[in-house]
Amino acid sequence: MSEAFVYTTPLDPRAAPLLEGLAHEYATRYGDVLREPGEPREIDRYPAHLFAPPHGNFVLLLRDGVAVGGGAFMRHDERTAELKRVWTHHALRRQGLAKKVLLELEAQVLRQGYERICLTTGFRQPEAVALYLGHGYTALFGPVADPETPRKLPFEKELVVPLAQSEAAPRHAEAVQR
């Protein structure tokens, strides 16, 4: 069994099953509360170009050539990237894949010159909340708030820039391909 990260685009055919699974997950967890009639599905709210270098990126975690996880980020502001679509195949959960994707995205965010990450996750995704809290993200919502009230749960994290990178890397450098 071999695993590799591949930087690509949400339009890559290998990403389609994961993104459809994510769309299904959003629909089953949130279909009754978040989407207004006529609005695009959450998965379709952001065009692919926002997840392209130099301001963003999209990564797939391939296992034996098949996408088992993935994620993306886009520019939030000059020093901040916003994570989107951190996801693993529904049948492969609890194997640490989301952690692998999160760590790879953090490394790529740094390689592209950002110093901070922000993100939101849904109020019906306790697995995601635990992932982010367990990896040093600060919750920007009250821990005693009724989870049905805020709807979107924001997080942030200041990244530690390695000394060698902070001295030598240009801002928003070309994406490193693996």
| Stated pTM of the model | 0.83
Question: Cα(9)–Cα(177) distance, rounded to whole angstroms?
Answer: 13
Residue 44 has pLDDT above 70, yes or no: yes
Question: Cα(73)–Cα(82) distance, rounded to whole angstroms?
Answer: 5
Average pLDDT for the chain: 85
Question: Cα(154)–Cα(82) distance, rounded to whole angstroms?
Answer: 11
17 or 145: which carries more pLDDT confidence? 17
Residue 177 has a pLDDT of 40
Second-level CATH architecture of 3-168: 3-Layer(aba) Sandwich (3.40)
In contact, 6 and 71? CB cutoff 8 Å: no
Residue 138 has pLDDT above 50, yes or no: yes
Residue carrying the six token digits 């170009």: 49
- Summarised one tens digit per residue, pLDDT across range 72-94 is 999 999 999 999 989 888 878 88
φ and ψ of 133, to 5 deg: -65, -35
Asked which of 8-12, 38-42, 149-153 is least confident by mean pLDDT, the reply is 38-42
Residue carrying the six token digits 């530690």: 160
